[in-house]
Structure 1
C-alpha cells in the first residue's frame, strides 16, 4: 500500500521549486501525493528562514502540522532554509519532528524517510549542494498554466542584511542545455508561462561560462513552441546590461516586466547594505529600461529602517520612489538577523520608526499604482486564466504586468467557459489600487 505524503511549501518561488523536486523524487519512489495534510502519513514542511516574520510563519506551520500526529501522520519532516539554519534547535525543541533536512539533502529525501521508518530514530541532515538535484523530475504544483524554473542556486552578492549565502552557498549556475530541457518538459505538460528565478537571475552563466548568458537562455527558451510567455524575477540592477534590455525589448515571448530589487536609494545606506550601486546609477538603469522597452512594468522591493538610516536617508528613498514611480513595489522593515554583519551595526532603528517609514512609502505607492492601473483602462492585452473568483461571476487572471502571488489580479468575465492555464485576450474596463477589471473580447489566443 502506498504511503500518502503531503507538503507545505513556504517562502519564495525558489523554495517552491525545491518542494516540487522533492515531490517528484517521492512520486518516483511510489509515494502517493496528497493535498490533504489530514490524510497524509508523511508531512513535509519546507521552511523559509530569510527574515524574522518568515521564520515565525515556518514555526507556526510546523506546530500546526505537528497536530496531525494525533491523526494519520506518522512522520513530520522539516526541510528548507530554516532547517539548514537551525537544524539542532528544531530537533531539540520540537519533539514531534522526526527529521530535519537542510538545503543540501533534497536528493536524499526518499532515503531519509526510509531510514527513519527502518531505524525508528530521528535524523538530521544538512550541508551545501550543487545544482544536480534540480535535474530530477518535478511535480508542478501551480496547475495554472505557469511554472518557475530555477536557473541557479546560491548567491555571491553578500549583502550585509542577508543570511542566504550562508544557507545556500556561492552562486552556481545550471547548464544552459539542462534548463532548456526542463522548459521543454514543462511545455509538453501544458505550461505556457515559464518564470526564471534565482537569487540573482542577471548573473546567470558567469560562474560556469565566464560570461553572462541570460539573454541567450531567454532566446533558446523562446524557441520552444508551447511556451507563450517568459518572465524574469530577481534582476539585480547592478548586473542589468544592454544585451539583456535589448532581448526583452525585441523578444515577443518575453513579458515586458522586470523585477529589480533596489532595496534603497541613499548612497550611504546602499554602501552599508553591501550593495554595489548608487542612486545615480539606479536612476540611469531604470530610465534606460523605460526608454528602450516602451510600456514596461517595473517592480522593486525596498528595505526601510536599516541600521543607520536617518530621516534624511529615508527622505532620499521616498523622493526616489516618488520620482521614478515604480509600477509595483514591496517594502520590508529591516529584520535584524543573527550571523549577518548588519546585526552588529550600531544605530539600530526602533520598530515604531521602521513601521512608520514602511507605511509612508506604501501610502505613496498606493496612489502611484492606481495611476498606472488607471492608464491601462481601455487597453486590450492577453491574460492567463488562473481560476474562478469566489463569487462565481468573475474569472481570475494575470496579464504580462502581473507576476503570480506578488502582484494584483485581473477580474474578468467571459461569455464562454474557460480553463485554468488558458490564454485569452481581454479588454481592461476599470482599475483599483491593485487590481484590474476586464472582459474577454475574443476566443482563446493561439
Structure 2
C-alpha cells in the first residue's frame, strides 16, 4: 500500500532544505506526496524553535494538523525540526495527538520513523544534532525549477548571548567543498539557474574543516559551473569578511552583488552584552569598504530592538547608524528571552511596550530609506528573474532581492509571454516601499 504524506515546513531556508531532503527520501521509499492535508495518511510538521513567536506558530500548526486525525485520514502526525529537538519530551506529553518526534539530527531516519509509527509505535527518535547531507541524498525541491537553496554547513559555534541555535543544532560543521560543488552541478543539470547558499554563518564556512575560511574558494569554484547564473549568499557575519571574499564578490560575474550581514545593533554597550564585536568604528569602515570595492552592492542586515539594557540613547545610536549607512534591505525584530540563553536572565529587561514602540520607529525609518532607494531606480532597466504571473502582471526578482524576504518586481510584458525561470529586462516605472513596477521595453 502506498501512503500519502503531507508536509508543512516552518522557519528558515535551512529548515526548508531539511524538509526537501525528507520529501526526497519519502518519495524514494514509495510514499506519495500530497499538498492536501485532508487526504494524507501521514502529516509532518517541520518546526522552528528559534524565538518565541516561531515556537508559538509551530505549536499552532501542530494542533491545526492534529484535527485531520478526525476530519481526514491521518494515521501518523510526525513533528520534527528545531522545536522537536529542543522540547521532545514536553511535546509528547502535552500533545497526545503526536505519534512521532524526529530530532533535527535524524533527517535521514524519517522513513524508518514513519514506518514504526504506522505499525502502532509511539516513536521518540531524538539524538545529537549531527545530521549532514551529501550531494547524492534524494531531494524534492519546493522552490520551483529555477531556484534552489544549498546548505553549506550545519550548526553554529558563535556564542551570541540571545541565541539558542548552538544548543539546538550543535557546533558548526562545514560540508566538504567537493560535495557542495557536486550538488550545485546536479542542480544545474536539472535546470536550476539561481543557487542560494545558506548556513547559520556562511562566512565561517571551512574554518572547522580546513583550518581557514573557505567561502571565497567555494564561490570561485561554483562560479565556473555552466548553467548557473546567480549565486546568492545569505546569513554572513561581519567578522568573516576578508580581502579574498571582497575580491570574489567584485570579480566573479555570477555572484550576486547582494550581501546579507545580520549586524543586530550599532550601540557598543548593547553589542558587548550580545556577545558580538562592539568595534562599531571598524564596522563602519568595513561597510564603507564594501560599498567602495563592490560596485552596485546591495546590503541586507537585521537589527534587534529591546535587548536587555538597551537605553533610549542606545536605540538612537541604532537609528543614526541606519540613517548613515542607508541599508537597502533591513529586517527588524524584537528581543525574545529564549530559555537557556544568557540574555534571558540578564538584568534590565526592556518592557514589551517599549520594544513595540522601538520596533515601529525603526521600521518606519527603514521604510522611508527603502522608498527613497527604490525611487532612484525609476527609469532604469533591471534584469529580472521571472517567477510567475497573476492577472495582467508578471512577478520576479532582481539580483538585489532574495526570495521570501525582499520585495518583487511586478511588470507587464505586452505580447511577450515570459516563463518562470526566464531572465528579462524590465524598465522600472513606479516605486513602492519594497516593490517595484515596470514593463518590458
* Post-superposition CA distance 1:301-337 (Å, at most 9, x none): 0100000001111111111111111000010100011
Q: Which residue of 2 aligns with 1:105?
A: 106
Deviation of the 1:129 alpha carbon? 3.8
Looking at structure 2, the residues matched to 195 and 7 of structure 1 have their Cα atoms a distance apart, in angstroms, of 22
- C-alpha deviations, 1:170-217, integer Å up to 9, x for none? 000000000011101111111100000000000110101011111111
Looking at structure 1, the residues matched to 133 and 47 of structure 2 have their Cα atoms a distance apart, in angstroms, of 18
The match for 1:444 is none
Tell me what 1:223 maps to.
224
**Which structure 2 residues correspond to residues 125-274 of structure 1 after superposition, within 5 A?**
125-135=125-135, 136-143=137-144, 145-274=146-275
Q: CA shift at 1:282, angstroms? A: 1.6
Q: Which residue of structure 2 lines up, in the alignment, with residue 379 of structure 1?
A: 380
The answer as to whether partners of 1:269 and 1:306 remain within 8 angstroms in 2 is yes
Structure 1 residue 225, shift from structure 2 partner? 0.9
Q: 1:256 & 1:225 partners in 2: Cα distance?
A: 19
Q: 1:10 matched to which residue of 2?
A: 10
CA apart distance, 1:131: 4.7
2:42 maps to 1:42? yes
Tell me how far 1:291 sits from its aligned partner: 0.5
**What SS does the aligned partner of 1:30 have?**
coil
| TM-score of the pair, normalised by structure 1 | 0.96
Which residue pairs with 2:405 in the alignment?
406
Q: Give the distance between the partners of 2:278 and 2:171, measured in 1 at CA.
A: 21
Q: Secondary structure at the match of 1:227?
A: coil
* 1:60-111 residue CA offsets vs partner (Å, 9 max, x unmatched): 1111111111111111100000011110111111111100111111110100
Contact preservation (8 Å) 2:262, 2:300: yes
Greater mean deviation of Cα atoms: 417-426 or 19-28: 417-426
Instruction: Give the secondary-structure state (helix, strand or coil) at the position aligned to 1:335.
Output: coil
Once residues 210 and 124 of structure 2 are traced to their aligned partners in structure 1, the CA distance between those partners, rounded to angstroms, is 35
2:363 corresponds to: 362
Label 1:80 to 1:10 Cα distance change in 2 as closer, same or farther (>3 A).
same
1:156–1:170 contact (8 Å) kept in structure 2: yes
For the 8 Å contact 2:306–2:334, the answer to whether it is kept is yes
Secondary structure, aligned partner of 1:147: strand
TM-superposed CA distance for 1:396, in Å, is: 0.9
Contact 1:145 1:384 in 2 (8 A): no
Distance 1:91 1:131 in 2: 22
Q: Give the distance between the partners of 1:130 and 1:385, measured in 2 at CA.
A: 37
1:104–1:54 Cα change, 3 Å: same
- Structure 2 residue matching 1:357: 3-state secondary structure: helix
Q: Secondary structure of the residue that 2:316 maps to in structure 1?
A: helix
- Match of 1:155, SS state, is coil
The answer for the alignment partner of 2:67 in structure 1 is: 67
- Residue equivalent to 1:437: 437
Correspondence for 2:51: 51
Maintained 8 Å contact 1:131/1:172:
no
Structure 1 residues without counterparts, runs of 5 or longer:
442-446
User: Partner of 2:395 in structure 1?
Assistant: 396
Structure 2: gaps of 5 or more residues? none
Distance 1:359 1:281 in 2: 28
Q: Give the match's secondary structure for 2:27.
A: helix
- Matches of 1:353 and 1:95 in 2, distance apart? 38
Aligned residue for 1:297? 298
Q: TM-score, normalised by structure 2?
A: 0.98
Q: What displacement does 1:276 show?
A: 2.3
Give the superposition deviation at 1:22: 0.5
Q: What is the SS of the residue equivalent to 2:2?
A: coil
Q: Report deviation, 1:252.
A: 0.8
Q: Equivalents in 2 of 1:395, 1:192: separation in Å?
A: 19
Tell me the C-alpha RMSD between the 2 structures.
Answer: 1.1
Tell me, in whole angstroms, the C-alpha distance in 1 between the residues paired with 2:279 and 2:293.
Answer: 21
Contact 2:75 2:118 in 1 (8 A): no
How far does the alpha carbon of each residue in 1:25-51 deviate from its partner, in whole angstroms, 9 at most, with x for none? 111111111122222111110000000
1:21 and 1:134 in contact (8 A); partners too: no
> Do 1:265 and 1:278's aligned partners in 2 also have CA atoms closer than 8 Å?
no
Report the Cα offset of residue 269 of structure 1. Answer: 0.6
Q: Which runs of 4+ in 1 moved over 2 A?
A: 127-135
> CA deviation digits over 1:324-364, x for unaligned, max 9?
11000010100011100100100000000001111001010
